[in-house]
Chains A and B, each alone.
Chain A
Amino acid sequence: MGGSGILQLIFSGITIGSIYGLVAVGFDIIYNCTGIINFAQGEFVMLGGMIMISLVGAADLPMWISFPIAVFAVTLIGALFERLCIHPLKKPSILTLIIITIAASILFKGGAMFAWGKQTFSLPHFSSERPISIFGATILPQTVWILGFIAVVVLLLAFFFKATMVGKAMRACAANRSAASLVGVNVKEIVLLSFALSAAIGAVAGIIIAPIALMDYERGMILGLKGFSAAVLGGLGNPVGAVVAGFLIGIVEALCAGLLSSHYKDAVALIVLLAVLFIRPSGLFGSLEASRLKKF
């Protein structure tokens, strides 16, 4: 396989990896504020894609109107989920919260099955479907859209966490919840915000990948699983690490499928993950010191 062949594989890896990365970012935001893994993250992705498909397909709305509506709807679902299931608990243990998110993911999946049925849906591409040729390799315009959206989401998040008061409050919560609440940060509201924000990011991921990956009610779990691997590999709680780790897993999978054998690609991706965690338990970009202070 020549240079353009390798480049093609890397493009494919970037396409797959960008999806993992975006799902992983959602995991990180909630983890940062609450210390829990939200296993319903993949369902937010599925809901975003499905609501978008309904708006575009059944309600016949243009893409640019459906997009914000779908994101808003999922954000609302995320916020409601937090208010109804997480917020009312007085002294929740981490384990209780995680089990609640698992229950919620089953509920979302079941609800989606009733609402949309068991069929697979597709969404039109945002622009043309004609592949773009770069140095002999081809890339779909939708992949360019996905990369663009990821860049925007990551930049906005970086700005939000570094430069705004609310973002700083969220980081304060992540560092030390009791101390943050002592200096006047309303921790409960920050938790609500974190769920809404990660639901919104999940929805964006679901919408932009639906044209190439298709969407059905069961998709959330598989996407969530791969996203979780990326989040762990990147160091839990580190959004930039999550995106980089997502690309890394995607590219490893693609190179393995293209150069070795597709039978082993999932196994190789997992072996890489295990190997990294063996050498660096805090992930590629996580700080070892910080990870010692966390519950897991």
Chain B
Amino acid sequence: MSGLNRKWTVVICLLAAFSLLTSTCTKKKEAYKVGAIFAITGPASWLGEPERNTVQMIVEQVNAEGGINGHLLELIIEDTVGDETKTVNAVNKLIEKDNVLAIVGPSRSGTTMAVIPIVEKAKVPLISCAAAETIVEPVEQRHWVFKTPQKDSDAVIRIFEHIKSKGMSKVAIITGTTGFGDAGRKQLKKYAAEMGIAIVADETYGPGDTDMTPQLMKIKATDAQALINWSIVPAQAIVPKNMRQLGMTIPLYQSHGFGNIKYAEAAGEAGEGIIFPAGRLLAVDSLPDDHPQKAVLARYKKDYEEKFKEPVSTFGGHAYDALWLVIDALKAVGPDRAKIRDHIENRKGFIGTGGIFNFSPEDHNGLTKDAFEMLTVKSCKFTLLSE
């Protein structure tokens, strides 16, 4: 019996301490509440984890410097597990229970699409960290929705432009069978037709595949002048290795899904010379000092890598841009959902990690194809492609 009593005493003490803690907090200026929903665990955790780390880091920095106009920033982070139902629940909770001013995330395109009707109805600004273009289009039905990642189609256009500048017109494509690979395959086919490029071979591979020589054998037998490998799964690093095994010498282009130095390391020597479009975060060291993004990128990279002892990823960068957009709006207009939305929609020249954002009522992404830079792999490092 006494053990039970002791347990209750502890619980009551904890409750008392907790209420004391919260009441002292409310005596200051009221904190600004912002929601963050990321796929922190589950199959898309490699997206959600750096995003969560990034926003936590920003909140610490902002509050250490005295908050936003004297108001502390309170971030309520929810885990979506990359699942649509859980994301919907999390967003409902953030809006109804926590009464947040804006929401940053989700990490994936599918989960973002699932919550768009909710935020549109509740009139809460949402800044997604997912890539699909349908997130912000058609824009008249996306009044409250914005996104920070660059467009897939711009990556495709940059690759095709580079291929054409080399005087090539016939390409082979090999794509992963996941959502990212499949969306890329559709974009590649669509823009190839528009830009006068012939796709002479179209192959796919699964995320668990260990050998792509059969697909590459087929491609080798065509007159393709270049190969585009569009995938986000680790298996993409096997393609350059198999190409080398088969003695294929045509240039290899990869998607922005290659933007993880681990993949270049996994490809080893075979990965040298791969060309791919990516945000400038990955090649910040080789960026000229007078580039307008250099300061933002260098600071984020340094802060993140010192704090978490792991390399920055572009995904964390998307969350960085999204949260700073909200903070920027809060500074300017204060805690009003409609004013925050209007401020973001009219924001021009916002320098983020993904590019320089110029939002408008017609464009809720604010980035052009110039947000991508063509990078290459040199001595197992990402560097800007010189020509």
A255 to B263, CA, bound (A): 27
Question: Is B234 in contact with chain A by the CB < 8 A criterion?
Answer: yes
Q: B215, A1: Cβ atoms under 8 Å? A: no
Are A213 and B246 closer than 8 Å at their CB atoms? no
B203 and A120 contact, CB distance less than 8 A: no
Contact B215 A118 (CB under 8 A): no
Distance, CA A1 to CA B213, complexed state (A): 14
CA distance A1 to B45 in the complex (A): 42
| Chain A residues numbered 79-121 whose CB sits less than 8 Å from any CB in chain B | 113, 117-121
Least Cβ–Cβ distance between B284 and chain A, in angstroms = 20
Task: Kindly list chain A residues whose C-beta atoms are within 8 Å of the C-beta of B263.
Answer: 120
How far in angstroms is the closest Cβ of chain B from A277?
Answer: 22
Number of A residues with CB within 8 Å of any CB on chain B = 43
Bitwise, B32-68 to A at CB < 8 A (1) or not (0) is 0000000000010110010000000000000000000
A258 within 8 A of B: yes
Contact with B along A226-250 (1 / 0, CB 8 A): 1000000000000000000000000
Residue A43 CB within 8 A of the other chain: no
* Chain B, 232-251, CB within 8 A of any chain A CB: 234-235, 237-238, 241, 244-247
A257 touches B46 (CB 8 A): no
Q: Which residues of A contact B310 (CB under 8 A)?
A: 117
Q: Which of A1, A19, A262 contacts B221 (CB 8 A)?
A: A1
**B268: which A residues are within 8 A, CB to CB?**
122, 129
- A170 in contact (CB, < 8 A): no
Q: Would you call B43 and A218 a contact (CB within 8 A)?
A: yes
Look across to chain A and name the residue whose beta carbon is closest to the beta carbon of B221.
A1
Partner of A5, one of B205, B217, B247: B217
The residues of B that contact A213 with a CB separation of less than 8 Å are: 210-211, 238
Chain B: interface residue count, which band?
A: 35 or more
* Chain B residues, CB < 8 A from A257: 203, 214-215, 218
In the assembled complex, B269 has its CB within 8 A of some CB on chain A = yes
* B208 proximal to A (CB < 8 A): yes
- In terms of DSSP, what is the predominant structure of the interface of chain B? helix
In the assembled complex, which residues on chain A have CB atoms less than 8 Å from the CB atom of B298? none
**Cβ distance A217 to chain B, nearest Cβ, rounded Å:** 10
* Interface pair B245/A262, CB less than 8 Å apart: no
The answer for the CA separation of A265 and B263 in the assembled complex, in Å, is 25
Say yes or no: A5 contacts B234, CB within 8 Å: no
For A194, the chain B residues whose CB sits under 8 A away are none
| Cβ-closest chain B residue relative to A5 | B217
Using A140-B245, A214-B238, A263-B204 as known contacts, say yes or no to A255 and B269 having CB atoms under 8 A apart: no
Does A16 contact B269, Cβ atoms closer than 8 Å? no
Q: B302 interface residue, CB < 8 Å from A?
A: no
Q: Does B262 count as interface, using CB distance less than 8 angstroms? A: yes
Cβ distance A91 to chain B, nearest Cβ, rounded Å: 35
Additional pairs, 16, CB under 8 Å, beyond known A131-B244, A212-B238: A1-B217, A1-B221, A5-B221, A8-B246, A9-B213, A118-B49, A140-B245, A212-B241, A214-B237, A214-B266, A218-B43, A223-B208, A225-B208, A226-B208, A258-B217, A261-B203
Return 15 A-B CB contacts under 8 Å, by A number: A8-B246, A9-B214, A9-B217, A12-B211, A119-B46, A120-B263, A122-B265, A122-B268, A138-B246, A218-B43, A223-B208, A253-B214, A255-B214, A262-B174, A262-B218
